[in-house]
A and B are shown apart, each in its own frame.
Chain A
């Protein structure tokens, strides 16, 4: 009996120890992998800072462990478009900030880096080469080479040098990870990150398609992203890189008046666009739906109210006043009328059609179903075949260069030229402003070095169409351009 009692208590002790170890292990596991820390106060100090650096929850599934993100450009500079680390990708990186605008850092177990809306929707410009850039949150990021960024992380993961030994050695040069974190990085985070990034390659197949021209700076193939990412659709032959849009002053879109959003009127309202874009950034169903929708509501409210930025150079008010008359006669019927914000048939506007073929009624139906399956209610995507482009609002048009949906015309002055006289080759992504022609500088040694070459003969990049006002007398064009600066 005594022996049996002894045995029982040994078992009990063992069991208790086991439970204790299990509990400690679980606590450490939770702490090291799942514990969420709020971002520091400065991130949410102002609405603009929150837009630029605030997490929208993408760190859960799309986040890269901070120290891996940190060392990649140092280990694989040859996979970047040029010298400058992440800066070579044209990200909007403020002096003094640890990460570029649109790159969010959040601790979920360990610090992770992911993206928010501002990575594609922050514009930069310089008034002269001897000046630092001004960043305009909610403007189009015309310098960002998003495709190069997509490729960069995948290419790094595919490289044999993306292994625990070499990454740990590189991290050790810049930061002394605590012992447990070293083990976690070496045996879990590095292999898992490698695997997950390589899995992206399948979804990114069309990003690597050798027959498709590169997007270049300031553009992305938005509807294909949705198609391949959200729907996992099989790759088709469509391509439609388009300009990153500005996302300020969204209250101008009034769905009740039949206005649609996205370049081809693919979506019903701002909330739907924001939800769909944010889901793209999360690249997964939101972990916490209520939290996700709270972020979306905040973005809808913020973006509805942000005003378009004022033109930063002097404006000849007299000339601009004369330009208003020209505008009223030549432009207002589409750009300041009931027609604004609605679809214009592509046959009428005559611009490049390829973007329309990247989307379809079926894709819209499927996507709406998919988002609904996440338990998210929204007006959603428009379930008809794309047939034309939205007549654009022109607020802040000065900062939205290059022009047309595919960014194929460098400046407003070029827009007022017949197609034959518009530039056929130019360089996108240089941020020095050209107040003479209204747009960015797109020619010359610096533009060539910094920018990516844009060739209007490439697929989906045609600069034809929208030949309106091209026959105006020179002085009317000058006046019109001056007026457009005031918008």
Chain B
């Protein structure tokens, strides 16, 4: 009291002011700390096993494209009517789910901006399934082409949800709560609810619709179907090239997803990578492909990508799991050596060959030209700016080529349908001249055809699931031609018995 009395008025003011300021500051710091703790984390779900990391590990694509896990769960239920085929869920667009997993192969999860968000990694295009018979359990093979995944169907579904009037905070949060209740979880926590209610869902919708508009040009292209993607036209959109000004020659570039095992030998032999062989740097090719999952130079997780890359360098192609006629395969070996080895390498393990990994001029290989033409000199030089500012990471190895690259044939049995555009269903068909190859066939079915070597291609539907009818008519479906890679040098003039032997031998790759 005495002390207080001796204070002057101004001292008293500062004393009180100081006290309240301290309290306000303390409270504010606590609030900031709580918020930072709640929203500041950036932490992927990690996997100890390399295979799991490949299938479910995060490359950082969630930073730019991630959607909250619970919205991911709600979308196929709320918008079931927008799903294609059997409308069973994300499976309907060809995602592969392993037993007991809520996320499909190729989808990773990360804690970011206060939410568990999910988005894609390499495996969504590079993992697939095989069934021995329609009754068998599908077996998942990592690093094979995603034979069932319909990329375009996936995008079409996402965009359709964004366009729908039910894409509102109320509808989506209600759907999330229904699922959470079913799984014995409580309601969405209040703070998440508030963020989603007043910001998250509107933002996501806006992003979806923007992306839809930017990718509008894809509508001009024939349907991709499962297992295929246009790699370089979306890159033009990324560079803001106005699609309507592009030459009609370059607007279709649909190709099969490739297998991505045994990268190390390709790298050490300096092979031309990508279908047209436009890059010899494995490391650059990897980062370029990772951008396809949604990473950007600032947001990509370098360590994670490095781990995937190192694993893929050493990963062997899975051996053919069905019976091989050793005797017949033995007869096929010398035929392979005579006809195929020069371009495709000594065998499935040793990729050395005079022209292996080199680009064959288009006039010689004579396969469909669309993919080649879709990659232009202007794209190549603009790619020089990708990863600029990050030192040696900047792209500098992309080159316009004028043909398609000779690929090693490791794990060939899993790489059906064949040719860069996936226009020939089986190996046995590929050994026929183009006018004897199937004019139409079905893609996306994962039951294996052990006789012709490739996926069964004459099943239109199974248990409510429809498969994609691929039409090789290049007038109706530009980019789909099954011509080329034919003539004496390509083995299409061998006798049927020789062809059978060669196909049997290729099973050993």
A→B interface (CB under 8 Å) = 67, 70, 73-75, 77-78, 82-85, 87-88, 93-98, 100, 130-133, 172-176, 449
Contacts and interface: CB of A to CB of B under 8 A. Distances in A.
Contacts of A77: 240-242
Given A73-B240, A77-B241, A173-B296, A87 B382 contact: yes
B234 to A, nearest CB: 14
A87 B400 contact: no
Contact of B241 (A67, A70, A84, A133): A84
A96 B396 contact: yes
Interface string B306-335: 000000000000000000000000000000
A449 B245 CA distance: 10
Given A70-B385, A95-B381, A175-B388, A83 B245 contact: yes
Nearest to B380: A95
A173 B296 CA distance: 7
17 contacts: A77-B241, A82-B245, A83-B242, A84-B376, A85-B378, A85-B382, A87-B381, A93-B381, A94-B381, A95-B398, A98-B384, A98-B396, A172-B298, A173-B296, A174-B298, A175-B388, A175-B390
A301 B381 CA distance: 31
Contacts of B202: none
Given A95-B381, A449-B247, 14 more contacts: A74-B239, A77-B242, A83-B243, A83-B245, A84-B376, A87-B381, A96-B398, A98-B396, A174-B296, A174-B385, A174-B389, A175-B298, A175-B388, A176-B298
Nearest to B395: A96
B41 interface: no
Contacts of A84: 241, 376, 378, 382
A74 B240 contact: yes
Question: Which of the listed residues A73, A75, A95 has the most CB atoms from chain B within 10 Å of its own CB?
Answer: A95
A132 B400 contact: yes
A84 B385 CA distance: 13
Nearest to A91: B381
Contacts of A93: 381, 384
Contacts, number: 84
B61 to A, nearest CB: 14
Interface size class of B (residues with CB under 8 A): 20 to 34
B367 to A, nearest CB: 15
Nearest to B245: A83
Contacts of B297: 174-175
Contacts of A75: 240
B73 interface: no
A174 B245 contact: no
A100 B390 CA distance: 19
Contacts of B242: 77-78, 83
B79 interface: no
B174 interface: no
Most buried by B among A84, A97, A131: A84
Given A97-B384, A98-B388, A174-B298, A85 B377 contact: no
Contacts of A172: 298
B399 interface: yes
B167 interface: no
Nearest to A76: B240
A133 B240 contact: no
B35 interface: no
A176 B300 CA distance: 11
Contact of B384 (A67, A73, A95): A95
Contact of A70 (B388, B398, B399): B388
B239 A175 contact: no
A45 to B, nearest CB: 16
B241 A85 contact: yes
Contacts of B398: 95-96
B242 to A, nearest CB: 5
B415 interface: no
A96 B377 contact: no
A175 B243 CA distance: 25
